[in-house]
Amino acid sequence: MYKIETFNQEYDVITDYSNLSYIVADEMKNKWNIDFNKYYEKVKNAVMATKREVMYYDDKMVEIYYFAMSNGYIENASLAFSEDRDYLRSVESIYNNDSLRNFEVKKEIPL
C-alpha cells in the first residue's frame, strides 16, 4: 500500500528483492515440499487477519519491511537504509530468535 500511495506512476508487485514477500504458489510448493500446506495456511491466515489494515504514523502511511531472518533485534531504519524513520527503531525481537537455530554459512576466502 505504501508503494502504491507513494510511487510516481502505476505500481504493481514484482517478484524480485524489492518485493521480497511475494511468492507464487508453485514456488511455495517447490520451496516447502511436504510442508507446503502447513506454511501456506500460516501465510494465508496472516494475510486474512490483517486484510484492509494499514498503519499510519503522524498521519502518513508507514513503510513496512519484511525480513526472513533475525539476529534477535530489529535494526534502526537509518542504519539499514540510510534513511531515518521514527517508527522503525531497534528493539529486541525475541519471537524471531529461533530463526538462527541450525543456520550456518560457510565461506572460503583465498589468501
**Domain-wise residue ranges, the chain:** 23-53, 60-100
pLDDT in tens, 39-95: 999 989 988 998 988 899 999 888 877 666 667 777 888 887 778 888 888 888 776
pLDDT band at 110 (very low <50, low <70, confident <90, very high): very high
The residue ranking higher by pLDDT, 68 or 3, is: 3
pLDDT at 65: 74
**Is residue 98's pLDDT more than 60?**
no
For 74, the grid coordinates are: 530489529
Q: Measured between alpha carbons, how far is 61 from 4 in angstroms, rounded to an integer?
A: 11
- Count other C-beta atoms under 10 Å from residue 88's C-beta: 21
What does the pLDDT average to over 16-22? 62
- Whether the CB-CB separation of 44 and 63 falls below 8 Å is answered with no
